[in-house]
Amino acid sequence: MSAEFKEKFIVINRKHLDELNKEYDVDVFFEALKQLDLPDNKYIVCNQDEKYAHKILAIILQGENLKEADKICRKNAAKNYKGR
């Protein structure tokens, strides 16, 4: 199975949140996120309209494919080991 591009995340510029703070309660937004008990993942973001975006996407998809291949290899190795 090959990795494919999916728009799974929403990115919000912190600067824009600061601008909203005058009109909306940003603290309520962050409290709601805390209730989701999300992992503390960190991300590198690339704008899709950048000239190099397609290269970044290709690298990411290649990495995802390698992770999937590694999972399959580990699963097969474990299966073969149990069969001995």
Checking if the pLDDT of 84 tops 60, the result is: no
Q: What share of residues in the chain are helix, strand, coil (percent, to 5)?
A: 55, 0, 45
Count of positions (residues) in the chain = 84
Distance CA 57, CA 69 (A): 18
Structure tokens given for 59: 């690298």
- Domain boundaries, given as residue ranges, for the chain: 14-82
pLDDT digits (tens, 9 = 90+) for 10-49: 888 888 877 776 667 777 888 888 899 888 888 888 999 9
> Percent of the chain, pLDDT > 70?
90
What is the structure's pLDDT at 55?
96
What is the structure's pLDDT at 23?
63
